[in-house]
Amino acid sequence: MMNASELRKAGPECVYGSKSTKGESAVAILDPQSMTFQVIVNDREYTRSYVEKAMSLANFSKKEFLMFGCNTGGHWVAVVISLKWSTVWYMYSENEKQVDILAELFDESFANFIQSDPRRQQSMSKLKHKRNFPCHQQPMGSLSCGFYMAYHILYAASISATLKSPEDFSVPTEVLDHGVLSDIRRRIASFFVSESSVVMLGLRPGLKHVAKPYSDKVQNTRR
């Protein structure tokens, strides 16, 4: 267990492995700052290596799912990767977004991940991408995509242990009511001001990609 101060010292170059009160979770959370479209385009080699290491570390730690929020530059998309079922789900709350940049990165990283171990070559197949996956849709003109993304990640993590096949994975599609969005805001605020409840699995020290100014981050989150 690491507190907020220790998290800041460690930096975001890591995979966060969530841990439930009933034992180890099957979910690992990737650092969203390392997985924005801007970082992927500007430093493809870094993100490819990051995803490969995350897959290897998650597989070693028996994490069946990798999840993260991706900032495309003007929208937040929830992404869920199943190593066991070789499947990626993309959940965008406002129309369909182009995710080819992510899909190509995952295909390349996953291929290298499989080739590095003969056992994986026998048990794992090429990634299947669920680009137009049904999920909660925000109202037209809403600036809440960041909160919808957070809800989709939390929901996916909450049902991950009950899934028996990729076909079992589904997310409700109605508009989130004000109470749900308020709860998401409260939980995010609580996370930043209190001790974190995640186990950190470090991939490398140091901070390579610095976040944009706070005002830009707020603007992107509210879209």
Closest alpha carbon to 208 in 32, 4, 34: 34
* pTM reported for the whole predicted model: 0.75
| Tens digit of each residue's pLDDT (9 = 90 or more) over 5-45 | 332 333 333 344 444 434 567 899 999 989 999 999 999 99
Determine the pLDDT at residue 193.
65
pLDDT 10s digits, 94-128: 876 788 999 999 999 999 998 888 777 777 878 99
Annotation: CATH topology of 4-202: Adenoviral Proteinase; Chain (3.40.395)
Cβ burial 141-167 (10 Å sphere, 16+ → b, else e): ebebbbbbbbbbbebbbeebeebeeee
Strands 23-30 and 65-71: parallel
Domain ranges of the chain: 4-202
